[in-house]
Amino acid sequence: MKNLTRTSKLLLSIFALIFTATCLTQNSAAQGSAKKKIGFSVYDMQYGFFQEMEKGTREAAQAAGYDYVLVDQKSSESTMVSATQDLINQGISALIISPFKPDALGPIVDAAKEKKIPVVIDDIGGGGTDYDVIVISDNEKGGILAAEYIDSVLKSRPNNSKKVASITCEPSAVYAARRNAGFEKRIKELGYQVVATLSGNSKQEEGYRVAKDILSAHPDVAAIFSCNDPMAVGAAQAIADSGKSGVKDVLVVGFNADEIALQAIKAGQMGATIQQVPREMGKMTVDLATKLMNGEKPQYSKADKREVYVPVNLITAKEAEALLKK
């Protein structure tokens, strides 16, 4: 099969020729265009939270007159790096990124810095890199809020077993894990016992299954805190299926303020959720990007870490109603 190996060599050389030819004839400069381009690299568009964030970012960018480009990391750090690299190579003037794995931000920030592109991080974490600014909601604080809310409700209940359970997100979501960490720490301080910490892998149907197991193991559990809303709603369903109430019998608190959770709260199926404001955060990042592109320094909440805080809010039934109307 000698001619076959020769043909492979031939093909390889054609390939190499094309590669060098294109390199020589094209330069790496971006297409000249009057409008500035903002690139947004998002964690995963499968989640309502990020859909909201993307909407806020897009609307703000378009309102400010920028060109807007989006890439989806699809919950993969490898895609995060390659897709964001695609953005950077397209000649964007500013990069907004909501990173799936902040630890892997290193190459991205370095590549952006090389091209003098300002980097604005939207939530999740900064990975200890040299970003320009990060807009961050306090996950730990959210967990603490949930703990305090649960305590305030359970205090007034006659047979408060003082037992709670905590459902965590998938193990690789280390920043979301802070919610549970904050929750468990605070609830223990308030005198409760955390009888179970189980992972629902961030999946709704697993939140259901895990909640059922928690109820089996500890029938007198008084409250369940879930790292995200899909799992919380799943847990609330499990409780309902066991003939109990997700508010009166086992208080369920979620995180995110996704639409399904708000509806569940309104319908009395679960107690509360911790709201992040992804849409506003998206808008904030665009404003910050504008400032940075104009060479101004943003106003930090915490200057040494270049953080801009976004408050998290407790959403109970009355707030849920109002939010849904919006």
Partner 1 sequence: MSIRQTDQPTIPDAPATGNTINQLDWDLLWERFGIAVVTVVIWLIAGLTTPGFANTDNLVSVLRQSAFVGVSAVGMTIAIIAGAFDLSVGSTQALCAWAAVSVAKLAGVFPAFAVAVTLGGIVGLCNGFLVSLVRIPAFIATLGTMFLVNGLTYIVTNGQTARFSGKPFVWWGNGQVMGLPVPSLVFLGCALVGVAILHRTSFGRFVYAIGSNREAANVAGVPIVKTTILIFVVVGLFTGLGAMLLGARLYSAGPGLEPGFELNVIATVVLGGTRLAGGRGSMLGTVAAAILFATLANLLNLNHVDAFVQRVVVGLVLLLALSVEGVRRRLAEYWTKQAARTSQASQPVREDQL
Partner 2 sequence: MLLIVCGAFTILSRQFLTPGNLLNVCTSASVVAIVGLGMTLAIASGNFDLSVGSTAAFAGCVTMSLVQRIGVAPAILAGLATGASVGLINGLIVTELGVPAFIATLGMLTIVRGAALIYTGGRDIYLYGQTQYKILSSGFAPVLLALALAFVLWFVLQHTRFGRHILATGSNAASARRVGVRTSLVLLGVFSIVGATAALSGLVLSAQVLTGNGRLATGLELSAIAVVVLGGTPLTGGKASISGTVLGSVLVAVINNGLNLLNISIFYQNVTLGLLLLGAIALEALGHRRTKQLTTP
Residues binding partner 2 (CB under 8 A): 45-48, 51, 168, 171, 195-199, 201, 203-205, 207-210, 212-219, 230, 233-234, 237-238, 241-242, 258-260, 263-264, 267, 269
Does 11 contact partner 1 by CB under 8 A?
Answer: yes
Which residue lies nearer to partner 1 by CB, 28 or 216? 28
Cβ–Cβ < 8 Å for 127, 104: yes
- Residue among 113, 141, 160, 174 that touches partner 1 (CB under 8 A): 174
In the complex, what is the shortest distance from the CB of residue 111 to partner 2, in angstroms, rounded to a whole number? Answer: 28
Which residue lies nearer to partner 2 by CB, 162 or 203? 203
Which residue lies nearer to partner 2 by CB, 244 or 305? 244
Which residue lies nearer to partner 1 by CB, 25 or 216? 25
Residue 101 binding result from partner 2, partner 1, none, given CB thresholds of 5 to 8 Å by partner type: partner 1
Q: How many CB atoms lie within 10 A of CB 86?
A: 14
Phi and psi of 312, rounded to 5°?
A: -105, 145
What track of x and - describes contact with partner 1 for positions 104 through 143 (by CB under 8 A)?
xxxx--x----------------xx---------------
In the complex, what is the shortest distance from the CB of residue 90 to partner 2, in angstroms, rounded to a whole number? Answer: 23
In the complex, what is the shortest distance from the CB of residue 115 to partner 2, in angstroms, rounded to a whole number? Answer: 31
For residue 203, CA distances in Å to 207, 242, 323 come to 6, 20, 24
Residue 26 binding result from partner 2, partner 1, none, given CB thresholds of 5 to 8 Å by partner type: partner 1
Cβ–Cβ < 8 Å for 190, 148: yes
Does 83 contact partner 1 by CB under 8 A?
Answer: yes
Which residue lies nearer to partner 1 by CB, 39 or 246? 39
- Residue among 13, 62, 152, 172 that touches partner 1 (CB under 8 A): 172
Cβ–Cβ < 8 Å for 313, 275: yes
Cα gap 319→314, rounded to integer Å: 9
Residues in contact with partner 1, counted by CB under 8 A, come to a total of 52
Cβ–Cβ < 8 Å for 270, 236: yes
Cβ–Cβ < 8 Å for 228, 255: yes
Which residue lies nearer to partner 1 by CB, 41 or 204? 41
Residue 324 binding result from partner 1, partner 2, none, given CB thresholds of 5 to 8 Å by partner type: none
Which residue lies nearer to partner 1 by CB, 246 or 282? 282
- Kindly list the residues in this chain that would bind partner 1 in the complex (CB under 8 A): 4, 7-8, 11-12, 14-15, 18-19, 22-23, 25-31, 45, 69-72, 74, 76-79, 81-83, 85-91, 101, 103-107, 110, 127-128, 170-172, 174, 177
